[in-house]
């Protein structure tokens, strides 16, 4: 058993302790053996079902032990005495309402917030795939060294793999296509998923009406069929089932609607597709092994493991590679669960939240433990007297057990209630666009773990100190009234230091997170973000003859828009910061020997005045001009990062570079644009004139004082009148795009901060209760010192110092803990250095301040102790 | 007929005790093995927990139905840290007697059910 089996080891320890409620003869004969067998059972439960298994086991074990003790000790614990025990538990609650409330609330707060926050983090970051059997859906990715990070596949390869592999039943590919839909004289662009039937079937979608299209409908001629998504059907046809079997006009052709999906159907990565058509329904020919522009999934046959399925798929891919070397050489097949592929980024964050949950729970447990130890101290005389008067240890233990269980059960109920409320509230703050967020339910695993931990804490710390009292000579307890003080005080302080350390670890994590977030929100790209409005333009392919004509229409749009009132400047680009994604290709510098390290560069094709519109200055050479046309010599502009990397000492102007197949001469160097994530390096970038590198679509970037909606209205009106063949998407401000990027990190930071503040609250309550208790215990001594002339301020100072000393020790350990977690933190909080001295210093200051305040309240009481009263009492 | 009298005292047997004896009929076993075997028994009612198992073993040991296997007889490849238990001759006789009692009971039940018009 190693450290990972801590829950098992703790369980065995607890079991061995609980076996003491059986008669002594049983302990002598079987305790060791029964504990050994319990350990075997616990290991089996833990390794098959984790903490849930262990929790269930404890449910059975408690009832087994209780029944056993009941039967074996029938002579001692009569029915009447059990009733008395049970009745005495609520009585204890009434006798010590503040103590009970403190325990219940601490457990409730710990269990509730830990469960809620973990549930939210898990439900939101891990975005479960909400379709039947999603665990069995695989993503098939063809990878080569240059496409690392992408998951792409070619239709013929996936078709063959699906046919060859017995371990998967449905396999298929899909991508999106923008059709134009004609409704009478109206024409609207419409995003449609084009797929093979296997792709759809792998998701096991349910249909509200009609059917899916079939393999035979992939044949050209039969392929003008379409299945509508529910939301589109509602919007377009008003939910009329009569449209099934009827036509819909896409790109000028009549398609037959063969079905409608159920409302909750969801195809991951295709959230924007309004309908699904056969993969052959576009002008492209998907039957090319080398064309890998598709997403691919496969479904594992029930009962087959992921390992078996991937092994079989990979072996079959090797067979295909031998058969089609020209298209597959250098490529490999990578198989993973679709879920893993889609949520891989969130795993470090989930791990971080798991750690935070554990910290928080331990802090809560530490408080409960301290409260119980204090109570056992206070009750020592009573317990000792009852033991001396002949109450059996069993009887005492049974009573304490009943009380502890009642307290932790009540705390658990409060906690689960709190968790439900917090989860509801948290969902309200979640970033938009997370599917089925409303269905996120309490994470039973975490709730069970939290509850089990608090029950164990209550049992151990409620029982053990009290039972120790019964072993001691009653005279000692009654005479001194201070049985085991030194021991108990040391234990309490150790527990307090531990909880302070955990709180400090959490606070440090949150502090670094907040700093990282501030870095994100203070993005300074090197140009003014205000007043930049962006839209995406597409030309109607059926109306333009050539690429050149298309670029001409885009230039015309740029020209028309630039003349509109309120528009200061207009540029065009294929992608840009925060919009359009990234395009990367291999970079070669003419005259250099190939075969060195593979060089990569981002590439952009831009229109004239793009840099002027953004406000990014040229460093050297010239920018693009209207004279850089398709007929002119190919030119390129590079950024400073590319120069630093490839011409650290030389001059790139006049050099020939090739990115992919495109060769051009460097004519200028432009200033770097800093990436959004702080700490991320500026990538080497190459810019070409759009006119020399033709594309079907482009972003239009406008600098203006107008709101995006106003610009959109103006531009749309002009385009409809003058250039109807160009279509634009909704306009957005770059500022808003940056804001959207911040939504998810803001939410994570909010969760983490909630954690840290709860931890701080719980641990300051801990500091307060310990210091207050020790002040109350020493009131006689303080009274004597005051009577002898000690200054109240000095007494108060001593009290505060004693608490702050503990906080400093705990804080120091906590910082070490945070440093140990550095790598996890850095993986989640991009661009944050976990050793940031400023963040550490501010967190530490806050921490000590809070601890000092928690000490100050009891210190004030200490200073006001009435010497006469204290000495008399 | 001391044995006969003792057997009469032992019958009818608690179902759990019967299950534990059944698991030991063919070979000796340690506590965990008994639990596992009992779990696999199709007639077993619910899970036997370690606490109940050892309370039961105590009764069976005291009644001479089960005996602890001396260390020298523990199989060579076995886990020597554990104690092994075997069924005694009396235990075997008790299992036989209990089975006969149950078989007789089942026969009666079937006859009467047939009489009452059931398909059994």
Output the pLDDT for position A3.
Answer: 43
Which range (A529-538, A563-572, A584-593, B106-115) has the least confidence? Answer: A584-593
- A68 lies within 8 A of chain B by CB: yes
Chain A contact set for B82 (CB, 8 A): 33, 36
Q: Which of B47, B50, B81 comes nearest A34 by C-beta?
A: B50
Q: Nearest-CA neighbor of A102 among A813, A709, A766, A854?
A: A766
User: Distance, in angstroms, between A33 CA and closest chain B CA?
Assistant: 7
- How confident is residue A457, by pLDDT bands cut at 50, 70 and 90? confident
Q: Give the residue-averaged pLDDT of A285-302.
A: 85
pLDDT score, position A483: 47
pLDDT digits (tens, 9 = 90+) for B1-29: 455 666 777 778 888 888 899 999 988 88
A374 within 8 A of A492, measured Cβ to Cβ: yes
SS percent in chain B: helix, strand, coil, step 5: 60, 10, 30
Residue in this structure with the two tokens 């993969």, named with its chain if needed: A279
Burial A340-350 (b: 16+ CB within 10 A, else e): ebbbeebebbb
Distance, CA of A428 to CA of A434 (rounded, Å):
12
Query: Which residues contact residue A131 at a Cβ distance below 8 angstroms, ignoring those fewer than 6 apart?
Result: A137, A203, A204, A205, A265, A266
Neighbouring residues of A132: CB distance < 8 A, sequence distance ≥ 6: A204
| Sign of the torsion angle spanned by Cα atoms A587, A591, A593, A594 | positive
The whole-angstrom distance between residue A92's C-alpha and the CA centroid of its chain comes to 43
Chain B positions with Cβ closer than 8 Å to A: 30-32, 35, 47, 49-55, 57-58, 81-83
- Exposure string (b/e) for A130-143, b if CB count within 10 Å is 16 or more? ebeebebbbbbbbb
Cα–Cα distance for residue pair A451/A447, rounded to 1 Å:
6
Q: A780 versus A205: which is more confidently predicted?
A: A205
What pLDDT does A646 receive? Answer: 82
Instruction: Give the β-pairing of A295-300 and A137-143.
Output: antiparallel
In angstroms, rounded to a whole number, what is the distance separating the alpha carbons of residues A31 and A527? 75
Cβ contacts of A64 on chain B, cutoff 8 Å: 49-52
Give the closest-approach CA distance of A54 to chain B in angstroms. 14
| pTM for this prediction | 0.58
Q: What is the rounded end-to-end Cα distance, in angstroms, of chain A?
A: 53
Nearest to A37 among B31, B55, B58 (CB): B31
Q: Which residues contact A53 (CB under 8 A, 6 or more apart)?
A: A45, A46
Give yes or no for a contact between A658 and A690, defined as CB atoms under 8 angstroms apart: no
Rounded Cα–Cα distance for residues A301 and A705 (Å): 58
Phi-psi region of A277 (alpha: psi -120 to 50; beta: other; left: phi over 0): beta
Sign of CA dihedral A789, A794, A799, A802: negative
Chain A residues inside the 8 Å CB shell of B23:
none
Q: What is the pLDDT of residue A296?
A: 92
- State the DSSP string of B26-58: SS-EEHHHHHHHHHH-TT--SPPPHHHHHHHHH
- From B49, B54, B55, residue closest to A60, measured CB to CB: B49
What is the largest distance, in Å, between two alpha-carbon atoms of chain A?
109
Q: How far is A69 from chain B (nearest CA, A)?
A: 9
Whole-number pLDDT of residue A476: 61
Pick the residue with more confidence: A248 or A435? A248
pLDDT of residue A76: 45
Mean per-residue pLDDT for A253-275? 86
| Local confidence band at A470 (pLDDT 50, 70, 90 cut-offs) | low
Q: DSSP secondary structure string, A501-517? A: HHHHHHHHHHHHHHHHH
Q: Which A-chain residues 71-100 have CB contacts (< 8 A) with chain B? A: 71-72
pLDDT average, residue stretch A456-477: 69
Percent of residues, chain A, with pLDDT higher than 90: 16
Mean pLDDT of A424-442: 68
Half-sphere exposure for A75 (CA within 13 Å, toward CB): 3
Tell me which H or E stretch contains A227: strand A225-228
- Is A538 within 8 Å of A678 (Cβ atoms)? no
CA distance, residue B106 to nearest chain A CA (Å) = 31
Q: What is the pLDDT, as a whole number, of residue A494?
A: 85
Higher pLDDT, A799 or A126: A799
CA distance A16 to A10: 10
Asked if B50 and A37 come within 8 Å (Cβ–Cβ), the reply is yes
What is residue A160's predicted lDDT score, i.e. its pLDDT?
93
Instruction: Please list every residue in chain B whose beta carbon sits closer than 8 Å to the beta carbon of residue A22.
Output: 51, 55
| Whole-number Å distance between alpha carbons of A734 and A281 | 35
The percent helix, strand, coil of chain A (3-state, each to 5) is 60, 15, 25
The residue ranges of DSSP E strands in A542-684, in sequence order, are 567-573, 584-589, 600-606, 618-621, 635-639, 656-659, 662-670
Give the pLDDT band (50/70/90) at residue A69.
confident
Q: What is the mean predicted confidence (pLDDT) over A257-266? A: 89
3-class DSSP assignment, residue A37: helix
Nearest-angstrom CA–CA distance, A767 and A855: 7
Give the nearest chain A residue to B56 (CA atoms).
A68
CB burial readout A677-694, b (16+ within 10 A) else e: ebeeebbbbbbbbbbbbe
Residue A573 Ramachandran class (φ > 0 left, ψ -120 to 50 alpha, else beta): beta
The ipTM estimated for the assembled molecules is: 0.82
> Stretch A192-221: mean pLDDT, rounded?
91
pLDDT-derived band of residue A540, with 50, 70 and 90 as boundaries? Answer: confident
Q: How far is CA A524 from CA A519, A529, A734, A837, in A?
A: 10, 8, 13, 23
Residues from chain A contacting residue B31 (CB–CB below 8 Å): 33-34, 36-37
Q: Which tens digit of pLDDT belongs to each residue from B44-101?
A: 666 788 888 998 898 888 888 999 888 777 766 666 678 889 999 989 999 999 999 9
**For residues A771 and A726, what is the distance between their CA atoms, to the nearest angstrom?**
74
Cis peptide before B12 (omega within 30 of 0): yes
Q: Which residues contact A42 (CB under 8 A, 6 or more apart)?
A: A8, A11, A12, A15, A54, A57
Question: In a 10 Å sphere around its CB, with 0-12 CB exposed, 13-18 middle and 19+ buried, how is residue A465 labelled?
Answer: buried
- pLDDT number for residue A580: 66
- How far is Cα A285 from Cα A277, in angstroms, rounded to an integer? 15
**A485-521 vs A792-820: helix axis angle to the nearest 10?**
60
pLDDT tens string A707-745:
888 998 889 888 888 888 888 877 888 888 877 777 667
Contact A183, A543 (CB under 8 A): no
Percent of chain A at pLDDT > 70 equals 85
pLDDT digits (tens, 9 = 90+) for A750-775: 777 877 888 888 888 878 877 887 77
CA distance A345 to A829: 12
Q: A301 in contact with B at a CB cutoff of 8 Å? A: no
Domain ranges of chain B: 2-115
Phi, psi (5° rounding) for residue A683? -90, 150
CB A261 within 8 A of CB A193: no
Domain B2-115, what architecture? Orthogonal Bundle (1.10)
Query: Would you say A718 and A559 are in contact if contact means Cβ atoms under 8 Å apart?
Result: no
Among chain A residues, the shortest Cα distance to B32 is held by A37
Q: A75 pLDDT exceeds 60?
A: no
Q: Give the per-residue pLDDT at A299.
A: 92
Q: Which residues of A touch B47 (CB under 8 A)?
A: 60
Query: Is residue A112 a contact partner of residue A312, using CB atoms and an 8 Å limit?
Result: no
pLDDT at A594: 47
Q: Which residue has the higher pLDDT, A854 or A381?
A: A854
Average pLDDT over residues A686-706: 84
Q: Is the pLDDT of residue A226 over 50?
A: yes
Please indicate whether, in this complex, the C-beta atoms of B51 and A36 are within 8 angstroms of each other: no
CA angle A260, A264, A269 (to 5 degrees): 95
């Amino acid at each position: 058993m190693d450290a990972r089996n801590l829950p098992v080891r703790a369980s065995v320890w607890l079991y061995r302790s609980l076996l003491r409620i059986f008669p002594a003869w049983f302990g002598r004969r079987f305790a060791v053996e029964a504990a050994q067998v319990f350990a075997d059972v616990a290991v089996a439960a833990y390794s098959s079902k984790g903490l849930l298994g262990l929790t269930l086991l404890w449910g059975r074990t408690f009832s087994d032990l209780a029944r056993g003790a009941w039967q074996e000790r029938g002579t001692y614990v009569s029915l009447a005495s059990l009733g008395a025990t049970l009745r005495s538990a609520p009585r204890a609650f009434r006798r010590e309402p503040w103590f009970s409330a403190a325990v219940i609330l601490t457990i409730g707060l710990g269990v509730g917030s830990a469960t809620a926050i973990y549930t939210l983090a898990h439900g939101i970051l891990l975005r479960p795939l909400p379709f039947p059997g999603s665990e069995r859906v695989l993503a098939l990715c063809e990878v080569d060294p240059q496409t690392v990070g992408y998951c792409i596949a070619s239709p013929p390869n996936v078709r063959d793999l699906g046919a060859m592999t017995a371990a998967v039943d449905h396999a298929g590919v899909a991508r999106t296509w923008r059709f134009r839909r004609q409704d009478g004289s109206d024409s609207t662009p419409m995003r449609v998923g084009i797929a093979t039937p296997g792709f759809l079937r792998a998701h096991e979608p349910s249909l509200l009406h009609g059917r899916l299209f079939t393999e035979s409908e992939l044949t050209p001629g039969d392929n003008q069929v379409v299945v509508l998504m529910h939301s589109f059907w509602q919007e377009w046809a008003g939910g009329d089932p009569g449209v099934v079997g009827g036509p819909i006009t896409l790109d000028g052709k009549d398609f037959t609607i063969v079905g409608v999906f159920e409302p909750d159907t969801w195809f991951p990565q295709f959230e924007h597709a309004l309908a699904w058509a056969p993969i052959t329904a576009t002008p492209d020919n998907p039957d090319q092994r080398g064309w890998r522009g598709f997403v691919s999934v496969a479904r594992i046959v029930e009962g087959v493991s992921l390992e078996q399925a991937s092994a079989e798929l990979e072996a079959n891919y090797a067979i295909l590679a031998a058969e089609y070397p020209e298209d597959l050489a250098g490529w490999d097949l990578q198989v993973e669960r679709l879920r893993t592929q889609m949520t891989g980024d969130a795993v470090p964050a989930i791990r971080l939240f798991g750690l935070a949950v554990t910290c928080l729970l331990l802090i809560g447990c530490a408080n409960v433990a301290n409260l119980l130890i204090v109570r056992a101290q206070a009750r020592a005389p009573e317990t000792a007297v009852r033991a001396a008067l002949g109450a059996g240890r069993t009887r005492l233990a049974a009573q304490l057990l009943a009380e502890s269980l009642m307290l932790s059960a009540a705390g658990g109920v409060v906690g689960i209630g709190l968790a439900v409320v917090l989860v509801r509230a948290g969902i309200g703050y979640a970033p938009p666009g997370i599917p089925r967020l409303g269905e996120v339910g309490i994470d039973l695993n975490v709730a069970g773990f939290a509850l089990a931990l608090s029950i164990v804490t209550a049992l151990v710390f409620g029982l053990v100190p009290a039972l120790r009292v019964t072993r001691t000579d009653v005279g000692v307890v009654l005479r001194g009234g201070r049985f085991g003080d030194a021991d108990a005080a040391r234990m309490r302080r150790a527990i307090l230091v531990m909880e302070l350390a955990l709180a400090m670890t959490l606070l440090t994590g949150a502090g670094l997170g907040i700093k990282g977030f501030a870095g994100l929100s203070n993005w300074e790209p090197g140009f003014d973000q205000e007043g930049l409005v962006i839209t995406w333009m597409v030309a109607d392919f059926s109306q333009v003859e050539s690429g050149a004509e298309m670029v001409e229409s885009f230039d015309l749009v740029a020209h028309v828009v630039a003349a509109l009132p309120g528009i200061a400047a207009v540029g065009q680009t294929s992608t840009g910061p925060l919009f359009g994604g990234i395009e990367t290709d291999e970079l070669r510098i003419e005259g250099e020997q190939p075969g060195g390290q593979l060089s990569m560069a981002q590439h952009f094709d831009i229109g004239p005045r793009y840099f002027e519109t953004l406000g990014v200055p040229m460093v050297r050479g010239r920018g693009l001009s209207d004279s850089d046309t398709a007929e002119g010599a190919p030119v390129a502009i590079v950024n400073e990062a590319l120069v630093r990397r490839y011409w650290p000492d030389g001059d790139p102007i006049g050099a020939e570079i090739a990115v992919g197949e495109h060769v051009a001469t460097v004519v200028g160097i432009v200033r770097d644009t800093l990436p959004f994530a702080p700490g991320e390096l500026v990538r080497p970038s190459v810019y070409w004139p759009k006119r020399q590198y033709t594309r079907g679509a482009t972003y239009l970037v406008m600098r203006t004082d107008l709101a995006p909606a106003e610009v959109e209205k103006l531009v749309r009106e002009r385009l409809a009148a003058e250039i109807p063949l160009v279509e634009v998407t909704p306009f957005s401000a770059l500022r808003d795009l940056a804001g959207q990027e911040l939504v998810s990190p803001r939410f994570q930071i909010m969760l983490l901060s909630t954690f840290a503040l709860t931890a701080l609250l719980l641990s300051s309550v801990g500091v307060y209760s310990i210091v207050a208790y020790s002040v109350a215990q020493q009131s006689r001594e303080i009274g004597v010192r005051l009577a002898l002339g000690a200054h109240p301020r000095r007494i108060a100072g001593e009290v505060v110092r004693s608490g702050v000393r503990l906080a400093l020790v705990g804080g120091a350990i906590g910082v070490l803990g945070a440093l140990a977690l550095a790598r996890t933190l850095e993986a989640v909080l991009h661009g944050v250095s976990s050793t940031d001295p400023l963040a550490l210093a501010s967190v530490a200051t806050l921490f000590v301040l809070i601890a000092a305040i928690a000490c100050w309240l009891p210190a004030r009481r200490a200073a006001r102790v009435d010497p006469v009263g204290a000495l008399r009492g | 007929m001391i044995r006969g009298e003792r057997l009469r005292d032992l019958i009818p047997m608690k179902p759990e005790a019967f299950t534990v004896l059944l698991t030991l009929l063919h070979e000796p076993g340690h506590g965990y093995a008994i639990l596992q075997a009992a779990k696999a028994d199709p007639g077993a009612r619910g899970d036997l927990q370690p606490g109940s198992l050892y309370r039961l073993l105590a009764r069976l040991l005291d009644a001479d139905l089960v005996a602890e296997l001396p260390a020298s007889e523990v199989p060579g490849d076995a886990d020597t840290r554990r104690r092994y238990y075997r069924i005694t001759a009396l235990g075997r006789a008790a299992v036989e007697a209990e089975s006969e009692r149950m078989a007789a009971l089942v026969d009666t039940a079937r006859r009467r059910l047939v009489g009452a018009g059931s398909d059994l």
